[in-house]
Structure formats: structure tokens, C-alpha cells
Copies of this chain bind each other. A is one copy, B any other.
Amino acid sequence: MEIIRSNFKSNLHKVYQAIEEADFFAIDGEFSGISDGPSVSALTNGFDTPEERYQKLKKHSMDFLLFQFGLCTFKYDYTDSKYITKSFNFYVFPKPFNRSSPDVKFVCQSSSIDFLASQGFDFNKVFRNGIPYLNQEEERQLREQYDEKRSQANGAGALSYVSPNTSKCPVTIPEDQKKFIDQVVEKIEDLLQSEENKNLDLEPCTGFQRKLIYQTLSWKYPKGIHVETLETEKKERYIVISKVDEEERKRREQEKHAKEQEELNDAVGFSRVIHAIANSGKLVIGHNMLLDVMHTVHQFYCPLPADLSEFKEMTTCVFPRLLDTKLMASTQPFKDIINNTSLAELEKRLKETPFSPPKVESAEGFPSYDTASEQLHEAGYDAYITGLCFISMANYLGSFLSPPKIHVSARSKLIEPFFNKLFLMRVMDIPYLNLEGPDLQPKRDHVLHVTFPKEWKTSDLYQLFSAFGNIQISWIDDISAFVSLSQPEQVKIFTAPSTVGKRNLSPSQEEAGLEDGVSGEISDAELEQTDSCAEPLSEGRKKAKKLKRMKKELSPAGSISMNSPATLFEVPDTW
């Protein structure tokens, strides 16, 4: 279901209901760009620490706009053993709410825009009809503005003037305004005397004059009149004064209050959906979701905190339970049987044995997606597909139980090992960002920091290290890189700087790209590729054996100890 500015309010209850009844959600975001740095590959070094990666993404990605948000809710129907889905595709745009509201600037990356354009993305929907939003601080400020206005209009104006926060003092009427104010008071006296007239429209005047009028009337006529500011068609503001009895005045105040509350809700806009997701505390699934999570927090809650540990805390408050399907698919028992963890390929792979496609049906009134005709990169569809991938993988875990379980729910202990671990793209030896505690600190004693002349290319590095067998190169900049050797003991050789003459080359696919003069820019699809990993083949085999051993050790589902469920499928500390 497509949700834009014009149908947001009328459909919000459907969104709330879907969130309320769901077992879990899947989310996805589309952004106006990925990285404003020199190139994605230069920004994502294979030996980044999680802290470094966080800082890079925060610095180079947060100025882009998340302008499409996909939410797909999944509710299990036990009668028919199938999931009922409700998929929402929200268009989001920070339309300035009023003259004093923030005028957001965001960056667009032409390659990302061009990519989305080629996928048929509708930019007009975003910019003409995107749902506005406020983060928490902006919401607080707007609420304060309303409160202040109200207290002023209520005749409690003086109170707001002496508030130390607003730095506004009661204003005495300047000499040259006295006549103006006297005339206004005269007109109001006439109105109060009059039996025919109930309302009085004052001429448009300046904001300062309006303030003087409000102030004067609030002490001169605390009761009996209602004062309101309206706008002409030319956007000139003028004051309307009405004779009212106390009951009528209160009714009007309440009406106005309700209207203001509605305006405020409209301004908070899409953030209300994120609040509802957060408040539900339910499991939120994403695919390669670190950037989605960072953007969501940044855009709808508050600017990202300075360091990673604060970010973890904040994220856990907003999303207490996250699961990244890319991380799941890259972890045992899936790692060995899933080659390509890009969302599109993963979805295809999970339709084949040993997996089975989940039974899923879209709820009544919700259009159904056809996975045969791909609509990738529409956030709602990507969220839907992500949910399907999760279900297939979760259910596969159930097959290890004896007797096997066909349906593994979002509350099952089987999936807990995957909670709150977000896939770290292109990091060689740290598979995930751990939101629940300290991150993995792999030994990096086989990794060399190498500096060299600017002219050097990957082939030169391969040549330099050709005696050391299999090496992995992670470029830092033009003149330095991390080089990981297959054996830590080899590092000892490099106690002094070495300048080895050129020898034979051992080019790899990666190098070829550089040889072609490619700047390192990569497509969205490429970003999704799993990195070739430094792990030697023997390691992989070891894990396969471990899996077999685990399988044997499995006890029947009923007798699994629920206190230590993570022993079943632990996300390994070392990869």
C-alpha cells in the first residue's frame, strides 16, 4: 500500500493496526545517496574497526535523505499455517511546516539518483507528496511554540514573557504605538456596546503590533472576548475579535487546542510510524540494515551520537530487537549453503532445497507482490522480500530439531543468536556490529600496514608479497593499505621497511578493476556482494564438520533447555 502525504492521515490507523497485530516486521529504506566521500571502496576498508566504520558512515552518509521507507508486517495465521502480510511503501519528505520550521538540506548522489531513476522510482511522489516528519527535538520545539502561543492567547501572556528560557520580557507600549493601541481598544469598546455586531476584524498589522494588542487585551478584557489571528489571502495576518460568553470562549479555546494538536500531529507526520514500531518492541528484520537503522534514528529521532557505544544504547532504545538477514545468511548453518547474500539472490536461493518458500498471503485490501516479477528497490517490496528470507531461514533452523519443526516463530529461541547483530559490509574479520555489547576484536597479527609510492597499484603489492602465498589487500588511500598474510608468523619478516624489486604478478579480479582505471565506485548490487574472505578453505571444512556434530547433538524440540538456547546456533566469535 502506497502511503503519501495526501493519504497518510486517513490510513494511519491501518498502519497502527498492522503494527499492533504483527508477529514481526521487515523494514527497508531508499536513500538519496550512499556516500559523499571519494568512493565507497575507499571509505569501507576491510580492516575497519566497528567504531571506525560507524564514524565513516556517520560522517559520509547521514547528509543523504531517507525518502522511501518500506514496512511489511507479518502475522502468523495458525489455522492455515501461513503468514498474512501487510506491506506499506511510505514516501517521506521534510516539507517545511511553517516559516519557522527547519529548512532541511540534504545531499543527492547522482549515481544513486540515476540508479533509482532506472528502477522507475517516482521522485515527484517524494518531493510533491512526501509525508513530512520531525525528529524529537523539533517536535519538542514546535510543541513549545504552540504552548507559548496558547498561553499568550489565553490571557496568561505575561507568564510566557517572563519565562527565562524564551528571553522575552513584557513589552511596554512604545510612544508611537500608543495611539494605535488606543484606537483598537476604542473599537473593542464599540463592539462590546453594539448589539448587532458580534465580530470585529482589525486591519492587518505587524507582528509587534499584534503582540501589543494581545497583551493589552489580555489584561483589559480577561473575559468576554475571544482574540484570534487569521491570515488574508495575501498572507497578511490580522486579528479577529469576537464577543463571547465564558462557555463559548472555552469551547473555542478547546476547538483551537484540538486543531493545534492536529497540526502538531501532522507535522510529526511519518515519525509517528517509527514511534509505533519502536513502542511495539517487536522484532524488526532488515537486510544489510546498518545504514537503514542509522538513517532511521538520525532522521526521525535525533542526530547520531558522537561515538559508537552511545549509538548502540540509543538504537537499543528505538529498536530493542533487530535481525539482519544478510548477517544471518552469512552465518552457520547458512553460510556454507548460500553463496550470494545479496537480497535478490538470497530470495531466489531460499526457494530451493534445503529451504522452502514460506506460505504467505497479503491481507485483504493490501496489494500482493509477485516475487516472480521483481520490483526490487521499492522499499515496500524489499521489506517484503526480506521478511520472506527471514521466514525461510528461521524455518530451516527448525528442521534441525527432532522432530523437525516446520514453523519457527519470531519468538523462537532458535533465532535469538542472530538478534541485534548488524552485518558489517566489507570488513574481513568482523562480521557484525554487536548492538548488545562490545564488538569482536579479532587478532590482526597477520595484518601489515604498508605504505608505498603513489604510483603503486594492487599488482605492485601482489608482486611485493608474491613470496607469501595468498594475501589480502585493503586499500586505505593512495599511498597505504592493509595487507593480510595467510600466516601470522610471516609478519616477523617485516621488522624493517622492505623494498623488494618487481617480480611476477598474481592478479586477481579486484586488481583487474583497478587496472582498468575504475575509480572504485560500485553499484548497489555490488555493495551487496559478500566479501571474499581471508578464511582459508580448511576453515570452511572445519565448520561443516562442526555443523554435522551439532546436528547429532540436537535433542527433541520439547526438551531443549530454554535457558541456554544460544548453544544451538551460535554466531561465531571468529569467522
Contact = CB atoms under 8 A, between A and B. Distances in A.
Given A117-B127, A504-B176, A96 B111 contact: yes
Interface stretch (A201-209, A370-378, A397-405): A201-209
A100 interface: yes
B209 A507 contact: yes
A167 B171 CA distance: 72
B506 A176 contact: yes
A143 to B, nearest CB: 14
A527 interface: no
A444 to B, nearest CB: 28
Interface in A438-467: 455, 459, 463
Contacts of A100: 516-519, 521
A108 to B, nearest CB: 6
A246 interface: no
A6 to B, nearest CB: 13
B207 A512 contact: yes
Contacts of A361: none
A508 interface: yes
Contacts of A172: 504
Contact of A122 (B111, B124, B459, B512): B124
A105 B107 CA distance: 6
A110 B124 contact: no
Given A177-B505, A211-B515, A95 B110 contact: yes
A214 to B, nearest CB: 11
Contacts of A107: 105-108
Contacts of A518: 99-100, 207
Give the bracket for the number of chain A residues in contact with chain B.
35 or more
Nearest to A462: B174
A105 B104 contact: no
A506 B176 CA distance: 7
Contact of A513 (B124, B177, B207): B207
B108 A512 contact: no
Nearest to A511: B208
Nearest to A120: B128
A105 B514 CA distance: 23
Contact of A207 (B211, B505, B515): B515
Query: What are the 6 A-B residue pairs with the smallest beta carbon separation, nearest first?
Result: A206-B512, A207-B512, A207-B516, A174-B505, A174-B504, A208-B507
25 contacts: A36-B105, A65-B108, A95-B114, A96-B114, A96-B521, A100-B516, A100-B518, A100-B519, A100-B521, A105-B108, A108-B108, A123-B124, A145-B517, A167-B455, A172-B504, A174-B506, A176-B505, A177-B505, A206-B509, A207-B514, A207-B516, A208-B512, A208-B515, A209-B512, A210-B512
